[in-house]
Structure 1
Amino acid sequence: MNRPAALTPSLTRLEVQSLATIETLELELGGGLSVFTGETGAGKSIIVDALGLLLGERAKPDLIRRGAEQLLVTGFWDGEDGEAISSRRVSRQGRSVARLNGEVVAVRELSGWAAERLTIHWQHSAVTLLSHAAQRRLLDLRSVAAAEAYSAAYAAWQAAANRLERLRTGERERARLLDLLEYQVDEIRAVAPQLGEEEPLTAQLSRLTHQEAIAGAAAGTLDLLADGEVSAEGLMQAAIKTLAAGARHDQASEDLLGELRTALDGVAALIPELRDIAEASAPDPEEVARIEERLAALSRLKAKYGPELSDVLAFGDAAEGELNELKQDQADAGDLEDEVERRFAAVQQAGQALDQAREAAAGPLTESLLAVIRQLGMPHARMEFALTPLPQPAASGLSDVTLLFSANPGENMGPLAEVASGGELSRVMLAISTVVGAETPVVIFDEVDAGIGGTAAVAVAEQLAQLGRERQVMVVTHLAQIAARADHHYRVEKEVIDGRTVSRVRRLDQTEREAELARMLGGQTSGAALDHARELLAGGAVTAASGRRRSARSRQG
């Protein structure tokens, strides 16, 4: 059976070295929906652990394969700007080195970069969904204008309130700060330092303070070159005269004679300059004192505001800006309290509008999510977004947002973070990814099918396949219903080589895939199990083709 081509992958290749039971892995990845299956204990989640390291997850030295000193995970990404490469190396000493396109970066930078491209939903913890901020963002995605208006009003109120609070500090403290800033600004202004002036001043001072030694050296040099009874100039003239007698008969001697004359001209050119230095008048004591005083003033500024003149200038600019702001605050004090009150009223108004927009978005979003969640093996699930007023306005609004949930009949709804099991949480994440849309081009689900089977498994498979038509989706699964819907099927295998356990990952061809599905269905590869596997694959192909046609019609519409 041939499947239509899947989406172009965003993560095209994954290389892993010395991670747990993996010795070396070079895995080519495809677009659409990919599944990873294998026997219990084969290490299917190692792939998720490797990608987690690229996402900035904590690197534990015990992840390093026994006998190796370090592990390395490298991801090759395809994007609008061409291929990008991210990697994470972890040593047994706990040192972690992250790279982006070959350049060393902080792990935090790697994490931020990868978070724009990759989302992982672990079976044991969907941390992002458990936070109030993430739950609030689900509603704000459908209340963008109101959320942006509130953020602007809140920022303006906080800026005015901070200025007012600063004015309300003690008069003595404000006066002390004004005096200090004025003194610092005046001190720097009085010297008026200039970038780059120290080096030429230091050189000039050195020349003036050593004028006698400089003149003596020049006079001694003159004596050797020209003024002495035996001088270089006289010797060179005699040498030229002697060589000239033979130069008329020999070209080589003629050439050397020319070079001697050139050298004599050079010596002659030096003599007037040396004489000027040797006969220079004594330095002006006032000039020396002026330079010394200037350098001392610059040194005092550097000692207080440095260590470099550039730091002094930067400090002066900052102090002057703060001084002007304090003076402006004093001038504006009469109007500032009224401005804060106006800004606060604007925050209240924008916050109430945001609450109304969130409440309006909550109903339809909850209905859409529940429609999916109930298909995913939780037919009695209930859900709602609760808005709880905060004691004072916050950057996020006037109210906190909590996602309440119950999976079973007869149970009260509670915060999702407290009442949902790992499997339930994973399926809620799947519903959100399907309804709201995954925020990254690559989405990973680890054991999203925990605790489900039958029709619920088929529904989960359909949701994953639907998401795979828009994103690159990877799933670690034990359900044949999900594996049958994949565009790419990988098997994780564990074997013992030379007394060491080694995990391998390989992509299955059609025959191998049928055998793997048969094993997943009943633990055997009998004729009946293989027939059932082929039926699942055939049904998955038909459903996938129908889904692609629906997606195409939706995009055209």
Structure 2
Amino acid sequence: MLVELSIENLGIIESARLTFDNGFTVFTGETGAGKTMLVEAINLVCGQRAETTVIRDGSEEAHVEARFVRATQDGEEELILARTIHREGRSRAYINGRMATVSALAELGQELVDIHGQHGHQRLLAAAAQRDSLDAYARIDVSPLRRARDEVVNIEALLAALGGDEKSRAREIDLLTYQCEEIESARIVSATEDEELSQEEDLLADVVRHRESLWQATEQLLGEGGATETTGQASRGIAGISSMAEMDVRLRGVLAELEDIGLTIRAQAEQIEEDPERLEHIRQRRQALRDLQRKYGDSLADVIAFGAETRERLNELLGYSERVEELQQQREVALAALRREQKVVGEARRSAAPKLAKAIEKRLKELAMPHATVQVSVGDATTDLAGDSVVILLAANPGSAPAPLSKVASGGELARVMLSLRLVLTSDPATMVFDEVDAGIGGAAAIAVASSLRELGGAHQVLAVTHLAQVAASAHHQVVVSKKVERGKTFGSAQILAHQDRIPEIARMLSGGIADESALAHAGDLLHKLGAAPTEKVTKKPRGA
């Protein structure tokens, strides 16, 4: 149940704070006073889309906060939902003082409040809304049906991913086979094979020059007059000088290193031999690797990865028959499960449809539609096993054949059908908000709608924007919204009326300020006959509050 609502800089309302009780509460006031802004505030804290145009002129942001109380297994739980809309388009949401996503706010708001805008009853024209109403009335659990449908869809997606028709698969298999054979027959040693072969090719391509260079280096290091000989002479020359002992040690180290380098180079020179066959093999191998890179990747690593992916896809296609057979078996099982769930749901819907029709029809008679006939049509079991095609048919007048709501219902009739559904579907959220549900009706129909809203307020907390005095007089509580202009700016305000203050407001709704005395008398009479006496209390808590 909504307990408190705080509004800052929303529309023409600079600041307002309202507390609510259970039962039926109406919002009244002159056109343009800001009644709909109260509904907009509730919309915002329930996660509905926010437009920056609702921010008060001259303000950078609008802020709305609402306190709810709902029943839990351990008693009652208090929830505080808040929303801030910035003029730059940013929106912030809070749940119990902690930052939250707008989607989380919307999910929680959907559990707490059922909001019907000025054209909310138009949603009844949608087939999905009519089907959902039947499911809610009969308490039909369609989640197993949804899961069964999802399973069939998933399996069919897997079948589609295996490939197209047989000819397409054959063409793909031929291509993949060729690619796999070409890559695998190359027997790539590693991702660095080409670099290693390049080094060996350089060596073999200039073997004579390399060998001569190595022998020359060997001679310069180890030969007569070479580096090792002159270094040895220098070491022997300072060997007897005590002050040069450290230098002598270092020279001997250099001499040993030079001798080791010289011997290593000589060993390399002795091993180098001309091998034109090996050189030609390396060149052909490198060309083959370059051809693979030109087709399948910028590097050998890319070629190896492409080959692995191609082999995996080829194996998948070659095992197509086995995989298809496996998936077909799964599909048959899933379809059988789907048909079972469709049958269960379809039977439940067809069984409940006449009962829902009678319940709506009974309520419509109470809403000044005494001759209304209602049928709830469910799809034929032979072509629509689950009964997904649900259509509410209405004949508002005697002698008329029932037809879909979209073809026969006026705005006022549609609003009353919607209200009838709300009265029938008692499992709806504890708080219901109606924005001008009484639009397009008057006279006896207005009194009937007013009485029904009051009755609905016995099981739920009902908040409604209205221009009808009959509806206002039927409410347990009344909030008047007004506006005034000060220093060139418009300020909206909202306040809960005491019982004695309701009569002048209802009189204004009746006469618009004309014939005040008779309007006041009429307002008092309406309040006495339709509304609660000053001492009457609504003691029954809303469902779920």
Fold similarity call, TM over 0.5: yes
Per the alignment, residue 471 of structure 1 pairs with: 460
What's 2:484 paired with?
495
Structure 1: tracts of 5 or more residues without a match: 1-9, 181-302, 305-321, 553-557
Q: Which residue of 2 aligns with 1:383?
A: 374
- SS of alignment partner, residue 78 of structure 2: strand
| Between 383-392 and 365-374, the greater mean CA deviation after superposition | 383-392
Within 1, Cα distance between the matches of 2:24 and 2:110?
Answer: 20
Q: Secondary structure at the match of 2:120?
A: coil
Aligned to 2:524: 534
> What is aligned with 2:265?
none
User: What's the CA shift for 1:100?
Assistant: 2.0
- Using structure 2 for the length normalisation, give the TM-score: 0.64
Question: Match for residue 519 of structure 1?
Answer: 508
Query: Could you say which residue in structure 2 is the equivalent of 1:116?
Result: 111
Cα offset, 1:331, TM superposition: 5.9
Question: For residues 63-462 of structure 1, what are the structure 2 equivalents within 5 Å?
Answer: 63-79=54-70, 80=72, 82-126=77-121, 128-144=123-139, 147=142, 150-167=145-162, 333-388=324-379, 397=386, 399-407=388-396, 413-417=402-406, 419-437=408-426, 439-462=428-451
1:467: Cα distance to partner? Answer: 1.1
Q: Per-residue displacement from partner, 1:339-385 (whole Å, max 9, x unpaired)?
A: 42343244335424433321221111111102212332334434333
Cα distance, 1:531 vs. partner?
3.8
Amino acid at match of 2:520: L
Partners of 2:457 and 2:143 in 1: how far apart?
31
Aligned pair 1:32/2:27, yes or no? no
1:456-484, CA deviations, whole angstroms, 9 ceiling, x for partnerless residues?
A: 22221221111111111101112222222
Maintained 8 Å contact 2:23/2:538: no
The alpha-carbon distance between structure 1 residues 495 and 328, as it changes in their structure 2 partners (threshold 3 A), is farther
**Distance of aligned partners of 1:45 and 1:174 in 2 relative to their CA distance in 1, 3 Å threshold:** farther
Q: CA RMSD in A?
A: 4.4
1:407-452 alpha-carbon deviations (Å, 9 max, x no partner)? 4566665443465444333322211111112521110111122232
Aligned to 2:285: none
The residue aligned with 1:215 is none
**Mean CA deviation greater in 526-535 or 508-517:** 526-535
Distance, in Å, in 2 between the alignment partners of 1:175 and 1:108 is 50
Q: Secondary structure at the residue paired with 2:532?
A: helix
Q: Residue type of the partner of 1:404? A: L
What pairs with 1:541-552 in structure 2 (closer than 5 Å)?
541=532
82-91 vs 527-536, which moves further: 527-536
CA gap of 1:124–1:153, structure 2 versus 1, over 3 A, is closer
Query: 3-state SS of the aligned residue for 2:357?
Result: helix
Q: Distance in 2 between matches of 1:124 and 1:468?
A: 21
Residues 419, 494 of structure 1: alpha-carbon distance in 2 compared, 3 angstrom cutoff: farther
Equivalence for 2:8: 17
Deviations 1:128-182, CA, capped at 9 Å, x for gaps: 43432221122223555674554454344445444444456575879999999xx
Task: Name the SS of the counterpart of 1:541 in structure 2.
Answer: coil
Match of 2:469 in 1: 480
SS, match of residue 386 in structure 1: strand
Q: Which residue of 1 aligns with 2:42?
A: 51
* Larger Rg belongs to: 2
Partner amino acid, structure 1, of 2:35 = K
Shift of 1:454: 2.8
Give the 3 Å change call, closer, same or farther, for CA 478–84 of structure 1 in structure 2: same
Cα shift at 1:398: 5.6
Structure 2: how far apart are the matches of 1:542 and 1:500? 39
Q: Any conservation in 2 of the 1:125–1:422 contact (CA below 8 Å)? A: no
Aligned-residue sequence identity (percent) comes to 37
Structure 2 vs 1, CA of residues 547 and 405 (structure 1 numbering), >3 Å: closer, same or farther?
farther
| Structure 1 range deviating more: 326-335 or 128-137 | 326-335
* Mapped partners of 1:361, 1:455: distance in 2: 31
In structure 1, how many angstroms separate the alpha carbons of the residues matched to 2:330 and 2:386? 20
Residue of structure 2 equivalent to 1:251? none
> C-alpha displacement at 1:40, in angstroms?
3.0
Deviation per CA, 1:62-89: give whole Å up to 9, x if none.
2222211221121122234632222222
Q: Is the 8 A contact 2:503 2:523 kept in 1?
A: yes
Provide the rounded CA distance (Å) in 2 between the counterparts of 1:53 and 1:64: 12
Contact 1:377–1:452 at 8 Å: present in 2 too?
no
Q: Structure 2: any 5+ residue segments left out of the alignment?
A: 181-300, 303-312
Equivalent-residue separation in structure 2 for 1:66 and 1:501 (angstroms): 10
The amino acid that maps onto 2:124 is L
Rounded to whole Å, the distance in 1 between the matches of 2:117 and 2:329 is 51
Cα distance change, pair 95–409 in 1 and its aligned pair in 2 (3 A): farther
Conservation of the 8 A alpha-carbon contact between 2:61 and 2:85:
yes
SS in 2 for 1:366: helix
What CA distance in whole angstroms lies between the structure 1 residues aligned with 2:57 and 2:95? 27
Deviation at 1:335, TM superposition (A): 4.7
Query: Partner letter of residue 526 of structure 2?
Result: L
Structure 1-normalised TM-score? 0.63
